[in-house]
Structure 1
């Protein structure tokens, strides 16, 4: 199907789908790799070798990942995207890449993925409400695409834009946000190997409610930074005014790094609750940079992260 990447693996070649989707406590650590335990799709695509950035935490189920989402284009409740996102058509999807690049162009998904080596990556994602998931993304490093279009020396920021289709996205009828949804990263953040463009989860194409057919994943930042259903990527020399930052700048800063020492004005961000766990389970301490400090902290050396929240 045009515009939708599909894994070459068949379910018959890996762990049966019902078994995989209900395996709530699969651990993806080095010991599991050494012991040959990665028989399912997450390991199979790389011959049993997950990304070096993979967490060893248990993965959330497909049902949990696809039924608890923030995607305001389909509604403001977390159950709305699963109800309404089926209306989104992704065939023939195109992404415009422009601004301060040597090769501005409009790319089809097939062109975008030509020659790309897809990797299976497991990330912990936490959002500003204090809940978290562990999701097995399929994707490729954002830097790979930037290197292909040729970033000009004066570029400092990367701006992303979500599709705006009022006939397919009922949430656009509400003035709750300024449409289309936009987000941005500093160039060094976009080039960090932890920043990926995701095209699937588990071994299937990305579901609509999770940002089909392509979305950003920035696992050391709060969830609203990982923009969905991207149609435009622009390189700029100016820091963009992003959607939530324009709407409520005192609550949603441009950087939005996971930081337990910086509270949201209306709630603490020092602890988190895992989706899929018991409502009565003890909340866990939130980790600085979502546990990825070794890979990303150097980008913020000398910065006041309470001021640059």
Structure 2
């Protein structure tokens, strides 16, 4: 059978009209915040392109373009925040969001063609592993824009990414502990190859060096951003001959693992051990005591990623291929001043 013509997309219409994909979505969904002249032009082009989402009958939903958010690991508190941000932005813009988990990509070309055939207008990738050149090439060949969130390594200009100020966050977390009088501060972080972990580690080391506080042997440990890693490394560092009085963990999930390791040794938090996390997910607020952490604006990052993906799908240029959103220290109950006995 002859191949059916590729249907017009929001990006096609937006490019023809010289407007954003979001504006076309607003017209399709009957939003009032569109200038009359722009609405008339967009509606005319929708008819010209025979867009299937034009003028749905009462009770029917407008057909919208979809963007896929793809993870390569199981969902956790971090990924939930990202998803919430993307879905919220999608609802505001009238864009469908599909969430998937793909742990292994053996055939990049088939993977990319499948995404394009499913009608995806763009891909948002949240990955624990570096995307390969073959995968990036496959997406480019099917003209599927890619936006990465907190990528393992900062990509070149051919890929667009959204992250946060990880160095500043690591610096703020360590400076907070130093301001409380702690000098024996350990860092339990993520994979050594991850750019976000390297930046947090550099922030930690910069704060320690500026204060003249030595980083003792065994005080820096690394693994996956997971609870079990925090539990295991927390137990190891607390078992050192000269254990730390404070620990900065590379994510909230790891920080909760450290908390449990401390409790298993009979340590009180924060009286005997201060702990700082990173992310400010829901589990930070639910922890006992509530976790002092560095707020990474995960929901905002998801929203920025979606809006950037739509701009790329519409053929627009972006101002920067890597955007960093500001982090912020949130002080709660898991940190306190060093006691007199710890100074002794």
- Normalised by the length of structure 1, the TM-score is 0.24
Higher helix share: 2
Higher strand share: 1
Structure with max Cα Rg: 2
- Normalised by the length of structure 2, the TM-score is 0.22
